[in-house]
Amino acid sequence: MGTERDVRRQPKLRIGVAGAGTMGRVHAAAVAASRRGEMVAVVDADPAGARLAAEWGVAAYRDVEDLPSDEVDALIVAVPTDRHAALTEAAAARGWHVLVEKPMARERDQAQAMMKACAEAGTRLMVGQVVRYFPEYVRARDVVEAGGIGQVAVARTFRGGPYPRGQDDWYGDAARSGGLFVDLLIHDFDFLQSMWGRPEEITARVRAVEGRPRHAAALVRFPGGLAAEVVGSWLHPRFHTRFELAGSAGLLEHHSLERATLVVEVDDQQAAAVAVPSSPAHRSPYQDEVDDFIEGVLENRPFQAEPADALLALDCALWAQRAAEIGEALTRRDWEATS
């Protein structure tokens, strides 16, 4: 087992954080707390960038192009979605690895260009699909894949909270954020697709309040007959998540506001239903995400979510968005023919 001295001798990944908003601050704290990461810069033209840099005692820059290439190994991109592609490609061109916040990009072709740029530069690309690090979702996927509740036929997910107030109200501009499907529900599409792959058909609806998208729902049909109801809302005063997976041998339920956030109920003729609670993690899933990025780069090992996984989730979110726009079910064949 390595000692603290061994850890200090190991190489560290020098990381710049682009974006000093909510997620930029979260990532900066995670880098600072990591064992093998070193935060070296904050990039943001807004005065918040200089303030965040001062908090951590690092250099502040207004533009990525101002960073000395040889002083940075990786860039965390935590800016509005419509800027993800440009910053990722700029970082790749300078030989930096990239952790970009979800959603990967606003459009599929942008995401593909990001993957190509990093592949050609020989740098690693990871997308912050952070739900893959939340213990309730990890445990649920493990139970399903192990056949713990039998064959799943119906799934329901919910994710919602207050309307996000980003700078310049960029969340309210669908051309920038993608709205609820792309910005919020991409987590649930990723969760479902990690177990059951690409859907066969999606029906979706969006409801607006005062001109802003505030509630969205999709019925997603997967191969084998499984149907999933995916609901998201920016109408709730307190952020929370829920899911329910119904299988041939039991039920798996999660509600983030409940004390026992994950319960597995098994239909067993030999015994009564068994409840297995899972407490929230003591460590932040965002810390686990950043650590996975750092270790993945330094050790040249796969991430929990590779770019292809994030691209699949983005594609599903855009598919749902398009189904909502036309107001009818959109099959996989029709979506792929038009996208």
| Run means of pLDDT, 10 residues per run, the chain, 339 residues | 46 96 95 97 96 97 94 96 96 98 96 98 97 95 95 96 81 84 96 97 92 90 96 92 96 87 66 33 86 97 95 97 95 92
Pairing of strands 227-233, 152-160: parallel
Q: Looking at residue 91, what is its pLDDT?
A: 97
Cα–Cα distance, 243 to 257 (Å, whole number)? 12
- CB neighbour class for 210 (10 Å; exposed up to 12, middle 13-18, buried from 19): exposed
pTM (2 d.p.): 0.91
300 Ramachandran zone, left/alpha/beta (phi>0; psi -120 to 50): left
Is the same domain home to 112 and 136?
no
- CB neighbour class for 75 (10 Å; exposed up to 12, middle 13-18, buried from 19): buried
| 18 touches 87 (CB < 8 A) | yes
The answer to the question of residue 141 being in a domain is yes
Is the same domain home to 20 and 85?
yes
Q: Find out whether the peptide bond into 80 is cis, omega within 30 degrees of 0.
A: no
Is the same domain home to 142 and 191?
yes
Is the same domain home to 183 and 105?
no
Q: Looking at residue 267, what is its pLDDT?
A: 62
Amino acid at 116: K
**Structural domain that includes position 109:** 4-128
Q: Looking at residue 170, what is its pLDDT?
A: 81
What is the tally of structural domains in the chain? 2
Q: Looking at residue 9, what is its pLDDT?
A: 57
Last residue of a domain, one of 74, 100, 128: 128
The residues facing 227 across adjacent strands are 154, 221
Last residue of a domain, one of 67, 96, 128: 128
| 13 touches 267 (CB < 8 A) | no
